[in-house]
Amino acid sequence: MNKKGVSPVIATVLLIGIVIALGVIVFFWFSSFTQEAITKFNGENIQLVCNDVQFQASYSSGGDLAFSNSGNVPIFSFNVQIQGAAGSFTTQDIKNLISNWPSSGLRTGGVFSGNIASKINGATQIVLIPVLRGTVSNGDQKSFICPDQYGYKVSVI
């Protein structure tokens, strides 16, 4: 009888290699489900800071959109949902609508006004959703868009 097979040492090494490869794949798969934590104000999760954002906005008949930050959280930017008469909407960054938006955002107690009439033709309402800036674990700055529930509705009719 002439039987050939894989030696037990090689079989063990192959099994260990397969287990390690599967473990690495599962680790990276699970890590894709978690977001990198963005913090603000001495380590507070930025998602919780959205509760503290307070601002007002108004739209004038001349097309000027005015903002005032009445809270104690600086607002880096806004996502603007432009809602049309048919119920459709598009979302744009405020920097695309107002060219002179401050690069550092709207500080606490800050006010700003800019004309957006030419950019929102046919809109019935806009919703301003705050974008905050926080710090990630390696010290870099990263933007965080607050959930839609923190949006501020402004009629543009």
For residue 100, being part of any structural domain is answered with yes
Q: Which helix (H) or strand (E) holds 127?
A: strand 123-135
Count Cβ neighbours within 10 Å for each residue of 110-121 and write b for 16 or more, e otherwise: bebeeebeeebe
Q: Which of 150, 142, 77 is nearest to 114 (CA)?
A: 77
CATH of the domain at 121: 2.60.40
For residue 108, being part of any structural domain is answered with yes
Task: Supply the range of the domain harboring residue 141.
Answer: 39-155
Q: What residues form DSSP beta bridges with 67?
A: 57, 112
For residue 91, being part of any structural domain is answered with yes
Q: pTM to 2 decimals?
A: 0.73
Structural domain total, the chain: 1
For residue 94, being part of any structural domain is answered with yes
**Per-residue pLDDT tens over the stretch 87-125:** 788 888 988 888 888 888 889 889 999 888 888 877 888
Distance CA 127, CA 148 (A): 9
Q: What residues form DSSP beta bridges with 68?
A: 56, 111
For residue 83, being part of any structural domain is answered with yes
